[in-house]
Structure 1
Amino acid sequence: MLYPELFKSLEAARWNMATDIPWEQFDRNLVSDEQLRTIKMNAVTEWSALPATEMFLRDNRSDSDFSAFMSIWFYEEQKHALVLMEYLRRFAPEYLPTEEELHNVRFEFDPAPAMETLMLHFCGEIRLTHWYKCAAQWHSEPVIRSIYEVLSKDEARHAGVYLKYMRRAIDRLGDSARLAFAKIGVLMANTKTAKALHPTNLHVNKAMYPEDSVQSHLPDPGWLEQWLDTQIHFDAIWEGKVVNGILRNLSALLETPIQSIKDLSRYRKVMSAAAHDASGHLVAG
């Protein structure tokens, strides 16, 4: 099992909201109303770890090890929402999300293949790591800068954990796991379409379409792209860091040179063809 050692390592890295955030350094002159609104949107988005956890537990009923890890992931992601809300409660309570606004992002996600979902969230954690690093640079107010830096480190650790479960999946499932990871990797690392691709911005409930993404349930559904494009300026350089992180980790995981999205696309096609040949019928890829 991975969970016992993961618990130890993540427990050792855990930060304390009361003592590790420099609340006393707050400077109201260094944070704008525009920035406070983005903090609110981030807080509500982080709250969506609740329906994501419900999805993971439902779709991984046969995997008690991974399900146990969800106890850590859920705790830490809800803590992210909480620290952002604590910032607003202390310094700008008029921007604090209401309970109704938080509850609006809790809705049922359609069942999905476990390996594809695992890869999707691995990519999402890499993306959040860099989104929050970029957000920390955008802010000049020292307390919120510190919070975003702390959150970025948490998201990087979560990506590392997902990667461990992906390695375990390849050991257990072999090429079917490799193909699933490659398929989602091609989607999430495509710089032409992937800039805002994150689990919270994807359609997850056909019956609710088109309002079936977490972002569509936010107080401002169009917030994310505005935040990326015109506020924190998550540009091509930052996007390159996300893509490089995905490709570099996949190259090591799949034990094959992957330096570009074209390399990954070729790998996916080879794996898909091999699965077709082995099964005698087409495997989606």
Structure 2
Amino acid sequence: MLYPELYKSLENVRWHMDTDIPWDEFDASKLSDDQAQTIKMNAITEWSALPATEMFLRDNRGDSDFSAFMSVWFFEEQKHSLVLMEYLRRFRPDLVPTEDELHNVRFEFDPAPAMETLMLHFCGEIRLNHWYRRASEWHTEPVIKHIYKLISQDEARHAGAYLRYMKKNLTDKGAAVAETARNAFAKIGVLMASARRTSQALHPTNLHVNKALFPNDTVQSRLPDPEWLERWLDTQINFDAVWEHKVVERILHNMGILFDRSFASVQELNRFRKELARSVGDKLSGGGDTAPA
């Protein structure tokens, strides 16, 4: 079981809102209206850890270890929303999200394969780490710069915890689970490392998750300003090709750790994904009467 160890390690590095945020260093002259608006949008986006946790618990009923870890992940993600709202409460109270705005991003996600969802959120944590690092550089007000640095470090640790659970599914749960996991991790890894080829940011909060609510079934579509994310990335924090390359490098590096082989490019990872798919197909075709029609 990983939960006790992960709880202890994350507890040891946990920051505290009252003692680890330099609130008295706030400089109003260095916070623009545009910057303050982005803080509000991020506060609401982070609140969507609530429906994500409900999804994880529903779809991982057979995995009590991972479900227990959700208690830590959910607490820390909700604290991200809370610290951003506390910043606004202190310094821009006119922009504090309303309860209705927060509740609007709580909606049901359709059931999905648990391994694919795990990999999707692992990549999402890597991407958030880089987005928030860039946001810390873009902001000019010292307190919010510090806050974004802290939460970016949390996201990196969360990615590390997800990676531990991904490894566990490859090594500790039998051949059938391992095969499902390998194919899911490779498939979603290729998708999430290919953001430069898509017209939108590839992150769990920007993907469609409820067919009945389409097209208003992404977290971003339910924000007060649904167009905010692309503007924040492209024209504000300037998350350019250099930063996107950093994300892809981290995904490929961690795929190498998972599969004990190196991937120099998304194309190499995609070839590996196809090898896995062919292997599954060969097993099915060799099964005689047991193979599906």
- TM-score clears 0.5: yes
- Give the distance between the partners of 2:144 and 2:24, measured in 1 at CA: 12
1:270 aligns with 2:275: yes
Deviation per CA, 1:116-150, whole angstroms, max 9, x where unpaired? 00000000000000000000000010000000000
Q: 2:189 aligns with which of 170, 185, 191?
A: 185
Deviation per CA, 1:50-76, whole angstroms, max 9, x where unpaired? 000000000000000000000000000
Contact kept, 8 Å, 1:247 with 1:260, in 2: the verdict is yes
Letter in 2 for 1:82: L
Letter in 1 for 2:29: N
Give the drift of 1:193.
Answer: 1.9
Letter in 1 for 2:112: A
Unaligned regions of 5+ residues in structure 2, if any? 286-290
Q: Equivalent residues in 2 for 1:219-238 (5 A)?
A: 219-238=224-243
Instruction: Report the RMSD for the aligned CA atoms in angstroms.
Output: 1.0
- Give the distance between the partners of 1:45 and 1:104, measured in 2 at CA: 10
Letter in 2 for 1:45: T
- Give the distance between the partners of 1:161 and 1:195, measured in 2 at CA: 27
Q: Larger C-alpha radius of gyration, 1 or 2?
A: 2
Give the drift of 1:175.
Answer: 2.3
Q: Which residue number in structure 1 is paired with residue 102 of structure 2?
A: 102
Count residues in correspondence: 282
After superposing the two structures, state which structure 1 stretch, 172-181 or 268-277, moved more.
172-181
Q: 2:212 aligns with which of 196, 207, 219?
A: 207
- Give the distance between the partners of 1:169 and 1:154, measured in 2 at CA: 23
Give the drift of 1:174.
Answer: 2.0
Give the drift of 1:259.
Answer: 1.0
Letter in 2 for 1:61: R
Contact kept, 8 Å, 1:55 with 1:111, in 2: the verdict is yes
- Give the distance between the partners of 1:231 and 1:196, measured in 2 at CA: 14
Deviation per CA, 1:191-216, whole angstroms, max 9, x where unpaired? 21286110000000000001100000
Letter in 2 for 1:252: I
Give the drift of 1:257.
Answer: 1.8
- Give the distance between the partners of 1:16 and 1:159, measured in 2 at CA: 21
Q: Equivalent residues in 2 for 1:79-158 (5 A)?
A: 79-158=79-158
Unaligned regions of 5+ residues in structure 1, if any? none
Contact kept, 8 Å, 1:206 with 1:212, in 2: the verdict is yes
- Give the distance between the partners of 1:168 and 1:262, measured in 2 at CA: 26
- Give the distance between the partners of 1:279 and 1:177, measured in 2 at CA: 17
Q: Which residue number in structure 2 is paired with residue 72 of structure 1?
A: 72
- Give the distance between the partners of 1:203 and 1:5, measured in 2 at CA: 34
Stretches (4+) displaced over 4 A? none
Q: Which residue number in structure 2 is paired with residue 19 of structure 1?
A: 19
Q: Which residue number in structure 1 is paired with residue 254 of structure 2?
A: 249
The SS at the match of 2:61 is coil
- Give the distance between the partners of 2:218 and 2:192, measured in 1 at CA: 16
Letter in 1 for 2:207: L
Letter in 1 for 2:263: I
Letter in 2 for 1:182: A
